[in-house]
Structure 1
Amino acid sequence: MASSRCTQKYAVGSPASSKASPLPSFHRFLTKVIQMNQLHTPKASRNQETGRLSFMAPVSPPRSGEAARGGLSRRNARRVKQSAPAFISSPCTFPTVLALKKIAFTVTSAALLSTFVVSPASAVDKDASANRPKPPAGMSRVGGELLGRTGTQVKLGVGAPVLPKDLTGRSWIVADAENGEVLAAHNPHWRLPPASTLKMLFADTVMPGLQPKTQTYTVQEKDLADLGEGSSLVGVKEHLSYTVHDLWLGVFLRSGNDAVHVLSSMYGGIPKTVADMQAHAEELQALDTKVVSPDGYDAPDQVSSAYDLTLFARSGLQKADFREYCSTAEADFPGAKKKNGKRETFKIQNTNRLLTGADGVDPYKGIAGVKNGYTTHAGNTFTGVAERNGKVLLVTVMNPSSKEPHAVYKEAADLLDWGFAASGKVTPVGELVPPRSASTGTGTGKGPAAAREEDKGKNGPSHNTEAVAAEGDGGGGGGVGIALGIAGGVLALLAGGVFLVNRRWPLPDLVRRLPRR
């Protein structure tokens, strides 16, 4: 429209020399549009605050903003060729060449403006995509051959819905929590910083050794001495006593690193805790995981994967206390002592927004935990479990690049919706393997040796199969895994080391504990 108005008003040969040219102001407007586009261009690397509850501090402080990538790429700039001036047959009141230059500048400016107005993010998205980290070509194949490939893996059957659009997580997985079938996955073995979702492994490792949960502990200054700067805290104070139960509420609801460090002290210290967490991860065949800190705080070389985090959740959910804490929406936490010697309490709320529905995120129907997280390097991470019509699904999403607020929850909810709709209509692309000490039955998941083996180019190219089923020649991963015992109060491992088959999940009680909104 801008081009049309300018060329009509200032047509070649019209007596326009006495009129003020609109080009300077139009040029200033175009410059402002370009500057605004550069200011609001999404960054190539993700560094967005989580929007935790107002009383929650992030696990680590946000980085200073990187220079925004913006501007028009050469491939998207439209070139406007000047037409030959043969059609001009009468003398002009101003030089023809000058008029043609004005027209050419106007048309070119309008073309550039339309590029920004119509598709302001096209060039930037390509730049951001080019600079986004890529998964390694060779990844672990624990759980099946397809799970070691890069890209999206799914085998759609007749009547199966396509995967949700706009999934931006670097890595994600959706699986049946009971039989272990992986319904779909995207770079599930990509080793990435886990943030506070690593607390699931911490709880699954330490919880059995800190019984009974009614025992109390008086916090010492040394217990809180090594907290990372900017750590999320529940409010544990030195020289005050807390029960193990209190501290677990602080871990699961407020993602309190202070509570993690106190529990680690009770367990035998940070080094022992980290060593036992690493050993437990290997027992679970979560071989993408390297533990450095028990709380998930950013640390060099500390990594996990969507697959491993899902294994941690699946293992932890076999423990009644684990299920209770990760499904609790809000609780009272001990505060300071009053003058009369009595302890105050204050309310704490779970930071899992699919559980609580906080900050504009709708609570997910049937959700029962598990854990969310955020650090500067990890971005947003989330593992959740939900039940619908007797089907229990696990989902993990790591570091979505979308700038949409709470994208990690939206993408997790979309994947759960898809999983419930697709269950029974897709061929599994892999399985959640049982622990090493458990009987593997007839499952076809790869063992530890295969997990440590390099891909060596055998996994082939990326398979983006959102609407078309992937080829069926990918090898293992199609077998049914060992069902988990996630019924109320039943331990997963029997004396013989075999998973107990029990498909009843005590979600009604968990759902009733959610606040009414």
Structure 2
Amino acid sequence: MIVTSAVRHAAAGSAALLFVLPVPAAAASPAGPVPRADSSVGEPTPPARRHVDPARLGRQGTQVQRLSGAPELPSVSALSWVVADASTGEVLAARNAHRKLPPASTLKTLFALTALPHHGPSEQHTVADAELEGIGAGSSMVGVKEGYTYKVSDLWNGVFLSSGNDAVHVLAEMNGGWESMTRQMQEKARSLGAEDTHVVSPDGYDAPGQVSSAYDLALFGRAGLQDPAFARYCSTSYADFPAGSWSYGIANTNRLLTGADGVERYPGLLGIKNGYTSNAGNTLVSAARRGDRTLVVSVMNPQEGGGHAVYEEARSLLDWGFGAAGRVEPVGSLAPVRAKAAADPGTRTVSVARDGRAKPAAPARAAGAGADPATSPAPRSATAEAGTSGPSAGLPLALVASACAAALALWGWRRRTARRV
């Protein structure tokens, strides 16, 4: 590589001197590929080798592109489901991904994405009577009482572990009220690229017109894993919930996480959220990590197998997804989870360590409108960007310094010669 530099003289009448300096290739670019930033869960899957039809996920039926050696998809009775890579957002397989269905308490994932950033976990709040009004009959509850003071983290444990609609109502009131929270959630869904979701009741309680889709729920789950607080709450199996001068234990109702009620715990499970209503049936958003890969799976309303079928069908889809890694072409992609990163430089991402704990990363760089931070190139290091440190940079700097000294000497000689003339 040839680098050309010009030294211009400030003195009137002096000519520009041009130096052509050979620069070793090692100084022009860092040796080897630039490492990717650990800004998302797991390592990215290889890029798609063929063009992905963006309309494919809108088609009815099962969508999958198996390559040689790929395992067969399991038999799944759910009306809608999605298997996606949580790092890249690539959808590995899906069935009726955009079918609009009642989400039940899996909608609490969107509620958390919307409300979590507004109050710190140690902030305390005393519950007023009005904050517990309007809770739907038969709702799941954690046991929030008026007049009691709770930390915000206690209320979020109530949301994620007990699916407590009472905790949702209190947190919603802390964030502008029920109607305002509904609007905020709708705006958040659209900002994430979730077009199938219509929010009527922020707690997921059955309400006319309230719908989501397996695609949107997978999108919410993926976005949640990038928030350290969300990732911590959704992966918590057990916690103590305060009741005045004492407390009682609560357990996560996600059986894949706890292994309760005869459902075998799934290895490497990171949570996320289960739900049930008479209208929605059983719904579930799950994520699990195996080796360097993290998958997110959403399952909506299994038609066979009873109340635990949603867990077993999610299990079989997770197993398939890990077995199919590198043996399928993506059939679509989850929308970028931080399309507005440029407008919010303080947004942070999270990777998930091998022990399943959320690990915060550095603030995200603006990746450009519509850019997916999980697949955007990593920022170059200071050495690679500036070329001013390390042994590879020393030689061109020395040459430049020598050239400048020679230029000054020549300029001085010419001035002395001109004076003699």
- Scaled by the length of structure 2, the TM-score of the pair is 0.71
Contact 1:156 1:427 in 2 (8 A): yes
**Deviation at 1:146?**
1.1
Contact 2:197 2:213 in 1 (8 A): yes
Residue number among 207, 211, 226 corresponding to 1:303 in the alignment? 211
Tell me the residue number matched to 1:510. Answer: none
Tell me the residue number matched to 1:63. Answer: none
Tell me the residue number matched to 2:74. Answer: 164
Distance in 2, matches of 1:439 and 1:273, equals 22
What are the residue-to-residue correspondences of 1:28-43 with 2, within 5 Å?
A: none
**Deviation at 1:435?**
4.2
Q: Deviations over 1:473-509 (max 9, x none)?
A: xxxxxxxxxxx75351126744566554499xxxxxx
Q: Does 1:268 align with 2:176?
A: yes
Q: 1:492 to 1:270 in 2, by over 3 A?
A: farther
**Deviation at 1:304?**
0.2
Q: Does 1:229 align with 2:131?
A: no
What are the residue-to-residue correspondences of 1:47-446 with 2, within 5 Å?
A: 144-165=54-75, 167-210=76-119, 212-335=120-243, 337=244, 343-435=245-337, 437-438=339-340
Contact 1:181 1:430 in 2 (8 A): yes
Tell me the residue number matched to 2:360. Answer: 489
**Deviation at 1:422?**
0.5
Q: Secondary structure at the match of 1:486?
A: strand
Q: Secondary structure at the match of 2:301?
A: strand
Distance in 2, matches of 1:179 and 1:274, equals 29
**Deviation at 1:437?**
3.0
Unaligned runs of 5+ in 1: 1-141, 338-342, 441-483, 504-517
Distance in 2, matches of 1:191 and 1:143, equals 21
Contact 2:228 2:350 in 1 (8 A): no
Tell me the residue number matched to 1:72. Answer: none
Q: 1:143 to 1:412 in 2, by over 3 A?
A: farther
Distance in 2, matches of 1:436 and 1:178, equals 13
Distance in 2, matches of 1:163 and 1:401, equals 17
Q: 1:438 to 1:267 in 2, by over 3 A?
A: closer
Contact 2:182 2:199 in 1 (8 A): yes
Q: 1:236 to 1:491 in 2, by over 3 A?
A: farther
Tell me the residue number matched to 1:52. Answer: none
Letter in 1 for 2:360: G
Alignment root-mean-square deviation, CA: 2.0
Distance in 2, matches of 1:303 and 1:501, equals 28
**Deviation at 1:390?**
1.0
Distance in 2, matches of 1:435 and 1:389, equals 23
**Deviation at 1:404?**
3.5
Distance in 1, matches of 2:171 and 2:213, equals 25
Distance in 2, matches of 1:352 and 1:221, equals 30
Distance in 2, matches of 1:438 and 1:221, equals 38
Letter in 1 for 2:351: I
Contact 1:493 1:499 in 2 (8 A): no
Contact 2:341 2:365 in 1 (8 A): no
Letter in 2 for 1:196: S
Distance in 1, matches of 2:58 and 2:301, equals 19
Contact 2:338 2:373 in 1 (8 A): no
Distance in 1, matches of 2:247 and 2:114, equals 28
Determine which structure has the larger strand proportion and give its number.
2
Q: Deviations over 1:320-373 (max 9, x none)?
A: 1101000000000001x3xxxxx1100000000000000000000010110000
**Deviation at 1:374?**
0.2
Distance in 2, matches of 1:228 and 1:381, equals 19
Distance in 2, matches of 1:275 and 1:486, equals 30
Q: Secondary structure at the match of 1:394?
A: strand
- Scaled by the length of structure 1, the TM-score of the pair is 0.58
